[in-house]
Amino acid sequence: MAAVMMLVVCGAVAGLSTVPAAVAAFSVVTSTAASWSVVENFGVGRLFVWGDNSSGQLGLGDRTERRSPTQAGSSTTWTRIAVGRAHTCARQSTGTLWCSGSNTYGQLGLGNTTDTINYTQAGVATTWSRVVAGENHTCATWNNGTLRCWGRNNAGQLGLGDTANRTSPVQVGSDNGWVGPTAGAEHTCGVRRQRTLWCWGSNAFGQLGLGDTTNRTSPVQVGTNTTWSAVAAGSAHNCAIRKDRTLWCWGSNASGQLGLGDTTNRTTPVQVGTNTTWASVTGGAAHTCAIRSNGVLWCWGSNASGQLGLGDTTNRTTPVQVGTATTWASVTGGAAHTCAVGAAQTVWCWGNNATGQLGQGNTTNRTSPVQVPGVTGRPLATGPTASSVLLIG
């Protein structure tokens, strides 16, 4: 399994850092806490998909939901994945980018607004590196560190200085230092190589972290801190990890998804507790989950469908440990469900299961983690507005 020099993704999180011991089987260096050295150990693999497929976003040639993992095509060279509300994109080891599903706003990057139910190559570039998907927009970096975005742009989430939709990838500014973009419903954030944090798009809940609720159509630096290592977007909130492994959250907090002990929105980053061992973080629609360096998983926020994995449906406004396992390697948050990679690259999901997104062969919600049978692998991805799941294994 060849190592690849590029940034590592743990669920929705993006950035650069060292890896906790519990994550060693997942990657040599992960994307979330203390160092700028990056060496991935993902290799390549088959693409497995399940859950909502109402727009053909699973790329299986139809619009039928899948309640169990199903292989998409026959390729064994997939390396990166991203899941939007009704579209998905995936990168192959050749550096090509492929997308499927809803294309109402051009979010597939095909130069048109025609939906597709099979993975279709976006352009001819072979330099794609990291891809993320918002509700109806997509952003991705090239190997040279430049960032491109496309799709819906009603709130300026493409970062192009206007609110016009784009049906093909367009470069965001001229900076070539992007190492970790992340996409919320209608906003985008990213860490640059200098460890600065930038956000743009919708800001109705202060999710841009700029101290106000005014939308931005171009990237704006969040404060002056230069120690950001990773950022993960929820639907309308963000959480980020600094070099010292502290965790900071801001934006919408109606369900306690900021982990601050209340339900008050924040328009600038606020530290979550005093812990200094956070290793990765992911944002769902209105919940957040994060892994500490000892491999322990914590979740908080909305829990109406059991997406916190705590055995009940009660919201939490501060981080609560999920079970007793110390072997969690990565976690990814969906609209109302959560999935994670555990020991030996086993896959676990919990929460809402209305479209089979838990991969259990049924539509029964689960309030505690349940193993997805028949698959192992990494990376694993869903999205804060999504009820679909993708896995490379």
Query: 3-state SS of the chain: helix, strand, coil percent to 5?
Result: 0, 45, 55
Domains, the chain, ordered by start = 9-392 (2.130.10.30)
Alpha-carbon torsion angle 272, 298, 353, 234, nearest 10? 30
Rounded to whole angstroms, how far apart are CA atoms 209 and 355?
33
Give me 377's structure tokens: 């692998």
Question: Is the pLDDT at 26 greater than 70, yes or no?
Answer: no
Question: Is the pLDDT at 40 greater than 50, yes or no?
Answer: no
Distances from the Cα of 8 to the Cα of 194, 314, 362, angstroms = 17, 32, 32
Q: What percent of the chain has pLDDT over 70?
A: 89
Per-residue exposure over 27-49, b if at least 16 CB sit within 10 Å of its own CB, e if not: bbbbbbbbeeebebbbebbbbbb
Rounded to whole angstroms, how far apart are CA atoms 339 and 282?
10
Per-residue pLDDT, averaged over 175-204, amounts to 98
Rounded mean pLDDT of the chain?
91
Rounded to whole angstroms, how far apart are CA atoms 249 and 197?
13
Tokens 């055995």 found at: 311
Q: What percent of the chain has pLDDT over 90?
A: 89
5 burial (CB, 10 Å; 0-12 / 13-18 / 19+) is exposed
Question: Is the pLDDT at 27 greater than 70, yes or no?
Answer: no
Q: Using one digit for the tens of pLDDT, what is the confidence trace for 263-285? A: 999 999 999 999 999 999 999 99
pLDDT at 29: 28
pLDDT at 154: 98
pLDDT at 380: 97
Count CB atoms within 10 A of the CB of residue 84. Answer: 30
Q: Using one digit for the tens of pLDDT, what is the confidence trace for 78-107? A: 999 999 999 999 999 999 999 999 999 999
Rounded to whole angstroms, how far apart are CA atoms 355 and 147?
33
pLDDT at 42: 54
pLDDT at 358: 99
Give me 387's structure tokens: 């009820």
pLDDT at 265: 99
For residue 80, what is the enclosing H or E element?
A: strand 78-83
Rounded to whole angstroms, how far apart are CA atoms 298 and 247?
12
How far is C-alpha 344 from the chain's CA centre?
A: 22
Q: Using one digit for the tens of pLDDT, what is the confidence trace for 309-328? A: 999 999 999 999 999 999 99
Per-residue pLDDT, averaged over 362-389, amounts to 97
Per-residue pLDDT, averaged over 376-393, amounts to 97
Q: Using one digit for the tens of pLDDT, what is the confidence trace for 118-167? A: 999 999 999 999 999 999 999 999 999 999 999 999 999 999 999 999 99
pLDDT at 39: 33
pLDDT at 62: 98
pLDDT at 130: 97
pLDDT at 108: 99
Q: What is the pTM of this model?
A: 0.92
Contact 13/282 with Cβ under 8 angstroms?
yes
